[in-house]
Each structure stands twice: as structure tokens, then as C-alpha cells.
Amino acid sequence: MQIKGNTAIITGSSGKLGSRIALALAENGCDCICHYNTNKAVAEDLVSRILAMGQKAWLVEADLTDEKQIDRLFRFESKPTILINSAAVFERIPLGEITQDKAEKTFATNAIAPLLVSQAFVKNLAGTSDLKYPAQIVNLADVGGQKAWAQYSLYCATKAALLAITQSLAKELAPGITVNAVSPGIVNIDESGNDNTKKGVVPPEEVISAIMFLLGNSHITGQIITVE
């Protein structure tokens, strides 16, 4: 697939990794619909940087745990053909501190929201007859969904669910839409924007490289690329 000339939705684009993914897409000639929930200032700066590259960019605020707000991602002039499900919550919650509310919030953000956004993405593409390549969905998972950690049972369970969603949708949506996941280890970017290069920490560029690899291949679907 040619990334250039397409439009991508990046959920959680105000996050440290999400913003870098959006900038990488823009650098490759992709227009960007940049989603955020609460961090408006960071999202506004991101859109300004993308516009300065000569690409189109739109800012959209939405709480993706509210199904009615998901439609906001698709109210722009350009029809997105790439979806990056990056928005997530990451919290250590020991067994003794788990509540129904915390469980529902974590699953709603990390598993149900990507599923419903993907559903809306597919509906928005319905009737599109001029696609030269399959549309593409890339989910940002986590190695915690493959090998769980103590005191992170909720988070790890949601990422395991996202991996299952990825492989199920890949079968359901083929061949018109590919669905893959990138499953990174610890990606640490300090407040100054410098990458943490300690042993066991994944540079964000490696995660972005995996995403770009998937977007550059229209015949790969249902795959999970682990980066750690």
C-alpha cells in the first residue's frame, strides 16, 4: 500500500507514542485525523506540526468509551483508509484494588473502544469503490497481552482481548481491509522527548518501523508483530 495520499485516523494521538506515529505518517505523505480525549494542548501542537509539513490535519476530541462520540472521527472532508488504534490506559491495579468500575473503564478503553472504532471505520468505507489498495487497521497491543505481569491483570487482559480482536477481524474483513497488531515491550520516552535507551526498553522508532512495515504491505493480515 502507498501511505502517501491516504488519510489516517490516529486515536490517542496526544500520547507520547501516538504523536510520534502521527508525525511519521505525515512525513510519509499521509493526512492525519488526530484524536485526543483530554490533552488538547499537545494535540493542537501536533496538528500544527503536521500542517507545517504540508499535510492536512484535523483535531478531534472524543471520549471513545462513549459510543455516540466515536462518530466525531469521521466528520471530515477526507475519507480515512488507515486506522491506528493507539488510545489506551495503562495502570497497575493489584487484585485487592480491582473494582467493577475500574474493570469496566479499562476494558472500555483498551478493548471495546478499538473494536467500536474499527466498526465505524468499516461503515465509513462502505460503498467506496475507488480504493486502489485494501484499507488497513493497525492495533497497538502490548507484550503484556502475551505474557502477563503481576498486578496488571486488568491491563494485560485487555491487551490479550485486543490481540484476539485483531485476528478475528482480520478473517472477517478480508480481503478489503487488513487488520494487524504491533505488540511492543516497554516504550519509554522521557519528558524532554529523548528516548530511554536502557536495556529492555524499546526505542519508539522500532515500533513505528513495524507499523510502517505493515502499512506498506497490503497482503499481510491477522499478524502480530512483537517488538521488544
3-state secondary structure of 124: helix
Tell me whether residue 129 is exposed, middle or buried, using C-beta atoms within 10 angstroms of its C-beta: 0 to 12, 13 to 18, 19 or more.
Answer: exposed
Phi (first) and psi of residue 144, to 5 degrees = -65, -20
pLDDT in tens, 23-82: 999 999 999 999 999 999 999 999 999 999 999 999 999 999 999 999 999 999 899 999
Q: What's the gap between Cα 81 and its chain centre?
A: 14
Kind and range of the H or E run holding 18? helix 16-27
Tell me whether residue 101 is exposed, middle or buried, using C-beta atoms within 10 angstroms of its C-beta: 0 to 12, 13 to 18, 19 or more.
Answer: exposed
E strand map for the chain: 7-10, 31-36, 57-61, 82-85, 135-140, 177-184, 186-187, 201-202, 224-227
pLDDT tens series, the chain, 228 aa: 679 999 999 999 999 999 999 999 999 999 999 999 999 999 999 999 999 999 999 999 999 999 999 999 999 989 999 999 999 999 999 999 999 999 999 999 999 999 999 999 999 998 776 666 799 999 999 999 999 999 999 999 999 999 999 999 999 999 999 999 999 998 876 544 454 455 568 999 999 999 999 999 999 999 999 998
Q: What is the DSSP letter of 115?
A: H
Residue type, 67: E
E strand map for 185-223: 186-187, 201-202
- Closest among 131, 205, 146 to 181, alpha carbons compared: 146
Question: pTM value?
Answer: 0.93
- Closest among 143, 150, 148 to 200, alpha carbons compared: 143
Ordered by where they begin, the domains of the chain are 7-227 (3.40.50.720)
Cis-peptide, bond into residue 204, ω within 30° of zero: no
Catalytic machinery residues: 155
Phi (first) and psi of residue 41, to 5 degrees = -60, -45
Question: Are the beta carbons of 7 and 57 closer than 8 angstroms?
Answer: no
Residue 98 CB partners (closer than 8 Å, separation 6+): 153, 154
Tell me whether residue 107 is exposed, middle or buried, using C-beta atoms within 10 angstroms of its C-beta: 0 to 12, 13 to 18, 19 or more.
Answer: middle
- Closest among 63, 85, 67 to 163, alpha carbons compared: 85
Residue type, 62: A
